[in-house]
Amino acid sequence: MEIRTIRRFLPFIKDFKAFWKKHGTFKYALTSAEFPPILLEPEEWIFSDDIISLLKELMRWEIRDMAIVEAPFTKNEKDIIKPESLIPWKIKNFPQEWELAVCDTFTPLGYLTEAINTAIKDNKTSNNLTSNILSDFSNSISYKQKSCNQSQDSNISQEIEYAFFQSLASNIYKIGYVLLKPEPPFSNDSVAYIDDYLKEWQEDEEL
């Protein structure tokens, strides 16, 4: 089943309520917390029932041909990008708009940080790759020397991508966004909790 991911310009609370009523509830809703917004137009929202689809839409992942790729450290690079806080992976075609962003998940150049390791540890996945991936991350050079088939490489890359978006979702508010999501017991697990945000929005419009 195709995942709904929709962009909409909703300048007023009445527009948001009309959209929410017409298109049904969503699990996630994202907009900018700052002006001017980054990777969004003013008053623009993104809605989705899947957090990875939503964040990929924000980043224009497919349009920009973005990907998580290996970025092993060389001896000369170690003094420049301080790999002790990084892992040997980066985002290809990293958004220039985020080059000044301060985020625990990535550096301004798009290198991924140890926050990805934390996300993998916290993510109780059903497959058996997690322990292998964590040991591989501990030393990028030894990882490169391992003999891995293409299927295993692909699985590792997918695991890192999943962990990246998991970490980004947790830190997205730090780089200027509002992410509305389920907040039990105020909403069920499949619907974003929007009441408090709409209440503040209404109060702002009445000023």
pLDDT tens, position by position, 144-197: 334 444 455 567 888 899 999 999 999 999 999 999 999 988 778 899 999 999
Identify the DSSP state of 42.
Answer: T
> How far is it, in rounded angstroms, from Cα 203 to Cα 207?
7
- State whether 39 and 126 are in the same domain: no
- State whether 159 and 131 are in the same domain: yes
Segments forming the whole domain that contains residue 144: 67-172
Burial grade of 180 (CB within 10 A; 0-12, 13-18, 19 or more):
buried
C-beta neighbour count of 133 within 10 angstroms: 19
- State whether 102 and 41 are in the same domain: no
> How far is it, in rounded angstroms, from Cα 33 to Cα 51?
18
- State whether 56 and 71 are in the same domain: no
Cβ atoms of residues 82 and 39 within 8 Å: no
pLDDT digits (tens, 9 = 90+) for 116-145: 988 888 764 434 444 443 444 333 333 333
Total structural domains within the chain:
2
- State whether 34 and 122 are in the same domain: no
- State whether 94 and 49 are in the same domain: no
> How far is it, in rounded angstroms, from Cα 36 to Cα 39?
10
Is this model's pTM higher than 0.85 or not? no
- State whether 15 and 72 are in the same domain: no
Residue carrying the six token digits 């040997």: 88
- State whether 52 and 125 are in the same domain: no
